[in-house]
Chains A and B, each alone.
Chain A
Amino acid sequence: MKKAILIGIIAAFAILPLCGANSLPTPQKFKLNNGLTVYYLQDKDLPLVAARMLVKGAGTAFEPAEGLANLTAALMLKGAAGKTAVQVAEDIDSLGAALDISAADEYMNLSASCLAEHFDRLMGIAADCMLKPAFSPEEFEKERQNRIDSLKAAKDNPGQAVRLYFRKAYFGTHPLGHLAGGTDTSLGAMTVGQVRDYYRKYLGPQQAVLAVAGDIEPDRLKQVLNRTFGKWQQSVPAPAAKLPEFPAPHGKVLILVDKPDATQAYFGLGFPGFGMGDDISAAAQVMNTLFGGRFTSWLNTELRIKRGLTYGVSSSFQQWRGNGIFNAFSYTKNDQIGEMLDITLELIAKAKKEGFGEEEIQSARNYILGQFPPTLENLGAKARSYLTLDFYGLGFNYYDGLLERIGKITKPQADAVAGKYFSDQNFVLVVVGRAEEIFAQLAKFGDFKIKKIGAADF
């Protein structure tokens, strides 16, 4: 692959601006009797249907024990409505379909895709998993152990590990510091009783929103949903889901994770950001595109194109309700990590002091607008967008408005984003690599706290 950075670009924004008005078709909306909200778009191009569900508040940031939301989500597929885990898997796989349940930070996700002719059956299975999960002690124990083992496997891959350590270093004990997969300590203490309790408290139709897009007639859709998810009942009112105030680094938080066999050193750098739907979104998107969000960005130009230090570097704003962060990640040979960090911090300082060129601003605007339409092409992306826009209360014309604003972003507006969020004094910096070889290079950036990759937790 020429560009590892592409992944960064796609991941950079959950929501991007849209080229042309009404590019996201407005969905139909109805509610089932139990309060479940449904958005629906008929699209007969291909014999496929995509369904996505979002359960508000059932995400990792609100779980009482780290990793519990995702463990619960996974176990919902491991046996339901009298069927064993293997029977459920067989039912799904026999259709050639995909059905997944997982927890994001602020909500739980269900994702289902199938051939149109199998929609009724897949929704039947999905509803069984959501409404009647078995949560057997045997499956709980298997899944819990699998997760503990997976944490070790993740630490064997420094590119994966650096993101986990970064998350911990930035958020600490804030709920967004919860790792999706949990930690050795949290998983070690988890019980199946906690899973059952979490399910009962956090999952119910009144917190759920479903979006369906594809080749399905509205009457059939309603019949299928009434027969399946229509039976879902709320057992107790869900707890309020509100994120506490975000931490912001005061001074430098510096962590070095020693991985003795690594032949490259990996870093993650973070600053405060802003929340989903914030007025600054459009200007921030332009700024990040220029700084580290595309192939010709400042970071990629200096670190990869000019100096050949790395195969990939990217930066992005991550947003949640009310607040967010800015982060950048890259890696290079052990003996060049000091040089890489020098350049990265110099670029941060330059963006803050000098800002960007007029021509660059124009280029970034064109780039964002030009690359947006394909992001909404497939059925799953449309369904997902309905849920995201609903969850953050942005409205289905949000993309159009954002597009319009991006088209008008000026140099001072983009520069102001760097001025506001970048700092040479307050940031979180995590490096994963071979301490023996890289420690001396890091000394000039401050006092690093050293951790061992093999130690428990993060």
Chain B
Amino acid sequence: MKRLTHVLVIVLLLSLPLALAAGLRPGDITVHKLDNGLKIVLLEDHDIPNIAYYTFFRVGSRNERPGLTGVSHFIEHMMFNGTQANGPGQFDRIMEASGGANNAFTSEDMTGYTNWYPAAALEKMIELDADRMQGLIFDPKVLESERSVVASERRMGVENNNENLLGETVRATAIMAHPYHWDVIGWMSDILSWKRDEIIAYYRTFYSPNNAVIVVCGDFQTPKIMELIRKYYAAIPRGPEPPAVLTVEPSQLGPRRVVVHKPAQTPSFLQVYHAPAATDPDFPAMDVLGMALLQGESSRLYQRLVARDQLAIDVSGGIGQSIDPLLFTIAVKPRPGVDTGLIEKAIEEELARIKKDGIAEKELMKALNSVRMDFYNPLMTISGKAYKLGQSEIYYGGYEHIFKAMDPYKAVTLKQVQEAAGKYFSENNKTVGVLIPEGGSK
């Protein structure tokens, strides 16, 4: 019976391109490139009278250096704070008055600018976005105000959030050399001391058309939008080739451990392992491992730590996509007063079990179904489609990857999963962090 179920899943996976028929077809997407290197990926979708206009720059915290940590994220903020043509705040005021809204995000590997607006606002919005690609003025007064905003963001997100505070400490302990060493938000002392000319130099280096890809999905006509994009972007000069990130994280040669003492009512626990990059052949097997260990209440670590041993309130984690190798995380929210040594011991036992016996076929099936759900869910919205296409561009070098994304998963074998567990979940590759409530026990 088990075998049959598994075969059924594989057959369904193979039929994916057919199932995509109405949601996203390769033939519906067009790709364009301007002479200045700007790549544009377009998908018409006329279901609602709106447009998702996303610009992705190939810049994130991995491109930073000590002293300038967090600057990619800061420029994300400054992209809304004034050009010669449009003064500080104008971008948002014009956009919102036209019925549009926007946001932006920065990760280790990319910065994304996400606009959602009614189709009728298209030209004005393109003009605004093109204007800020190279036109920011970094008004000193505005810059200082925004610096305070980012400091507040850090206080909210890291200093007053125990899980994130521990996460930052563990990351910096596990990763020594690579710029993934610091969080995307950057160190507070850097936030408070970036120099304006350094920020501008960074902006000039990375915010050029040849380092960007625009993905648009929604209610537009392709010839018309390309005419507008050419009109507003073609004159922006190509920028310098951004410097490559050359630092390779050296292999970890022994377990690392870090303790944070802080007034709190509950402890926090985080265990991480160096993990493969998104394009590494081991990535899908590690992703499957993550789902077996941590996804849902049926997962091994939820069952062990929360349901059975009752050592924790919740568990989460797994592997995420990244350009360079990053981390596999096991985050545990311990119950108040619990000895976190017991948590670590239980995790070790569960990992040893997987290394010895692998995972069951039903766990692989669960992972494959989850991958399919994760694939289809974003395709319900124009925003989700734009994000998925952009993500494919940044991590895999082209939107086409979206149509092959399932292939490596359906090829994953139980043996590969077991081998990946043995390869990555080693004592020497591990870093453990514990936040201990001050004055309390572990």
* Chain B residues bordering chain A, tally (CB within 8 A): 82
Residue of B nearest to A84 (CB): B307
Residue B263 at the chain A interface, CB threshold 8 Å: yes
In the bound complex, do residue B380 and residue A305 qualify as a contact, i.e. CB atoms below 8 Å apart?
A: no
Name the A residues within 8 Å of B307 (CB-CB): 85-86, 142
Residue A335 at the chain B interface, CB threshold 8 Å: no
In the bound complex, do residue A150 and residue B313 qualify as a contact, i.e. CB atoms below 8 Å apart?
A: yes
Distance A454 CA – B264 CA, assembled complex (angstroms) = 9
In the bound complex, do residue B265 and residue A331 qualify as a contact, i.e. CB atoms below 8 Å apart?
A: no
In the bound complex, do residue B145 and residue A93 qualify as a contact, i.e. CB atoms below 8 Å apart?
A: no
Name the A residues within 8 Å of B152 (CB-CB): 264, 308-311, 331-333
B294-322 residues with Cβ-Cβ distance < 8 A to A are 295-299, 302-303, 306-307, 310, 313
Cβ contact of A96, chosen from B93, B99, B147, B373, cutoff 8 A: B373
In the bound complex, do residue B379 and residue A367 qualify as a contact, i.e. CB atoms below 8 Å apart?
A: no
In the bound complex, do residue B313 and residue A305 qualify as a contact, i.e. CB atoms below 8 Å apart?
A: no
Given contacts A159-B160, A301-B89, A374-B381, 13 further A-B contacts (CB under 8 A): A86-B307, A93-B296, A93-B299, A96-B366, A115-B376, A142-B310, A149-B266, A263-B155, A296-B92, A311-B150, A370-B98, A371-B99, A371-B100
Residue B124 at the chain A interface, CB threshold 8 Å: no
In the bound complex, do residue A379 and residue B380 qualify as a contact, i.e. CB atoms below 8 Å apart?
A: yes
Distance A113 CA – B370 CA, assembled complex (angstroms) = 12
Name the A residues within 8 Å of B156 (CB-CB): 4, 159, 264, 311-312, 331
Residue B12 at the chain A interface, CB threshold 8 Å: yes
Residue B203 at the chain A interface, CB threshold 8 Å: no
In the bound complex, do residue A374 and residue B98 qualify as a contact, i.e. CB atoms below 8 Å apart?
A: no
CB distance from A86 to the nearest CB of B (A): 6
Residue A261 at the chain B interface, CB threshold 8 Å: yes
Q: Mark B91-109, 1 if CB is under 8 A from A, else 0.
A: 0110011111111111000
Name the B residues within 8 Å of A117 (CB-CB): 12
Given A20-B49, A93-B297, A304-B149, is A48 in contact with B264 using a C-beta cutoff of 8 Å?
no
Cβ contact of A93, chosen from B106, B313, B366, cutoff 8 A: B366
Residue A369 at the chain B interface, CB threshold 8 Å: yes
Cβ contact of A260, chosen from B97, B263, B380, cutoff 8 A: B263
Distance A267 CA – B373 CA, assembled complex (angstroms) = 39
In the bound complex, do residue A263 and residue B159 qualify as a contact, i.e. CB atoms below 8 Å apart?
A: yes
Q: Mark A109-123, 1 if CB is under 8 A from B, else 0.
A: 000011101100000
Residue of A nearest to B369 (CB): A96
CB distance from A105 to the nearest CB of B (A): 24
In the bound complex, do residue A153 and residue B12 qualify as a contact, i.e. CB atoms below 8 Å apart?
A: no
Q: Closest 6 interchain pairs by CB?
A: A370-B99, A96-B369, A308-B148, A308-B145, A89-B297, A311-B153
Residue B138 at the chain A interface, CB threshold 8 Å: no
Residue A173 at the chain B interface, CB threshold 8 Å: no
Residue B19 at the chain A interface, CB threshold 8 Å: yes
Residue of A nearest to B100 (CB): A370
Q: Mark B423-442, 1 if CB is under 8 A from A, else 0.
A: 00000000000000000000
Q: Mark B332-351, 1 if CB is under 8 A from A, else 0.
A: 01011000000000000000
Name the B residues within 8 Å of A192 (CB-CB): none
Cβ contact of A373, chosen from B50, B80, B88, cutoff 8 A: B50
Residue of A nearest to B88 (CB): A305
Given A261-B263, A371-B116, A374-B50, is A308 in contact with B147 using a C-beta cutoff of 8 Å?
yes
B256-274 residues with Cβ-Cβ distance < 8 A to A are 262-266
| A-B CB contact pairs (8 Å), 12 listed | A1-B104, A46-B23, A86-B307, A145-B310, A153-B313, A308-B152, A332-B152, A367-B99, A367-B101, A370-B98, A373-B50, A374-B381
Name the A residues within 8 Å of B56 (CB-CB): none
Name the A residues within 8 Å of B266 (CB-CB): 149, 152-153, 156
Residue A317 at the chain B interface, CB threshold 8 Å: no
User: B79, B121, B150, B336: which has the most chain A beta carbons within 10 Å?
Assistant: B336
Distance A306 CA – B92 CA, assembled complex (angstroms) = 14
In the bound complex, do residue A378 and residue B381 qualify as a contact, i.e. CB atoms below 8 Å apart?
A: yes
Residue of B nearest to A370 (CB): B99
Distance A53 CA – B149 CA, assembled complex (angstroms) = 41
Residue A44 at the chain B interface, CB threshold 8 Å: yes
Residue A411 at the chain B interface, CB threshold 8 Å: no
CB distance from B192 to the nearest CB of A (A): 12
Residue of A nearest to B149 (CB): A308
In the bound complex, do residue B105 and residue A115 qualify as a contact, i.e. CB atoms below 8 Å apart?
A: no
Name the B residues within 8 Å of A369 (CB-CB): 99, 118
In the bound complex, do residue A95 and residue B369 qualify as a contact, i.e. CB atoms below 8 Å apart?
A: yes
Q: Mark A140-156, 1 if CB is under 8 A from B, else 0.
A: 00100110011011011
Distance A3 CA – B65 CA, assembled complex (angstroms) = 25
Q: Mark A42-78, 1 if CB is under 8 A from B, else 0.
A: 0011111000000000000000000000000000010
Residue of A nearest to B157 (CB): A311
In the bound complex, do residue A363 and residue B96 qualify as a contact, i.e. CB atoms below 8 Å apart?
A: yes
Name the B residues within 8 Å of A115 (CB-CB): 369, 372-373, 376
Residue of A nearest to B22 (CB): A45
Residue B391 at the chain A interface, CB threshold 8 Å: no
In the bound complex, do residue A2 and residue B76 qualify as a contact, i.e. CB atoms below 8 Å apart?
A: yes
User: A85, A93, A118: which has the most chain B beta carbons within 10 Å?
Assistant: A93
Residue of B nearest to A373 (CB): B48
Residue B211 at the chain A interface, CB threshold 8 Å: no
Residue B207 at the chain A interface, CB threshold 8 Å: no
Distance A157 CA – B157 CA, assembled complex (angstroms) = 10
In the bound complex, do residue A362 and residue B380 qualify as a contact, i.e. CB atoms below 8 Å apart?
A: no
Distance A194 CA – B352 CA, assembled complex (angstroms) = 42
